[in-house]
């Protein structure tokens, strides 16, 4: 499951992966991002940070990540250039994120993996907008 929220006047998305992480959550996130951009909630040049917490299981495969990358490239490209920080601790999600990072970087997108929220927010050049809530 993904929970995402927009901060900093539309320049930052923070999302949490938890529970059962499955492919449709990623796809739903792409379309949510496009919709949010189209209505002006998310601004051009935004940054995003996704982190995992309390993950029960992961049903996403390497093939799913490749398919999601194709969707993101074809449809999601309309959201413009953005940076993504992934703050991860679950071993399966880390392996999938490395595949995602490689595919994204081949297309010129900035995606990096981090161990702590502080590192991820620092790389994006912003502060944690809700340190009391966004924590691991």
Question: Is residue 30 domain-resident?
Answer: yes
What does the pLDDT read at residue 108?
79
Question: Is residue 133 domain-resident?
Answer: no
**Quick one: tokens of 66?**
């490749």
Question: Is residue 130 domain-resident?
Answer: no
Question: Is residue 132 domain-resident?
Answer: no
Return the CATH number at 91: 3.30.750.24
Q: CA-to-CA distance for 134 and 42, rounded, in angstroms?
A: 19
Question: Is residue 73 domain-resident?
Answer: yes
Containing structural domain, residue 93: 2-124
Question: Is residue 136 domain-resident?
Answer: no
Q: Based on the structure, what is the number of domains in the chain?
A: 1
Label each residue of 63-105 as H, E or C.
HHHHHHHHHHHHCHHHHCCCEEEEECCCHHHHHHHHHHHHHHH
Question: Is residue 26 domain-resident?
Answer: yes
- pLDDT tens string for the chain (136 positions)? 889 999 999 999 999 999 999 999 988 888 888 788 888 898 988 999 999 999 999 999 999 998 888 877 665 555 567 899 999 999 999 999 999 999 888 877 899 999 999 999 999 999 999 999 999 8
Would the pTM of this model clear 0.85, i.e. be above it? yes
**Quick one: tokens of 122?**
């620092």
Q: CA-to-CA distance for 74 and 95, rounded, in angstroms?
A: 23
User: Residue 98 forms beta bridges with which residues?
Assistant: none
How many CB atoms are located within 10 Å of the residue 11 CB? 17
Question: Is residue 6 domain-resident?
Answer: yes
């Amino acid at each position: 499951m993904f929970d995402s929220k927009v901060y900093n006047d539309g320049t930052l998305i923070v999302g949490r992966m938890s529970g059962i992480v499955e492919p449709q959550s990623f796809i739903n996130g792409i379309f949510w991002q496009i919709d949010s951009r189209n209505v002006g909630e998310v601004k051009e040049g935004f940054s995003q940070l996704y982190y995992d917490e309390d993950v029960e299981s992961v049903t996403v495969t390497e093939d799913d990540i490749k398919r999601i990358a194709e969707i993101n490239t074809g449809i999601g490209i309309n959201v413009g250039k953005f940076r993504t920080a992934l703050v991860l601790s679950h071993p399966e999600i880390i392996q999938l994120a490395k595949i995602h990072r490689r595919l994204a970087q081949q297309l010129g997108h900035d995606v990096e993996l981090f161990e702590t929220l502080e590192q991820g927010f620092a790389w994006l050049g912003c502060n944690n907008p809700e340190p009391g809530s966004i924590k691991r």
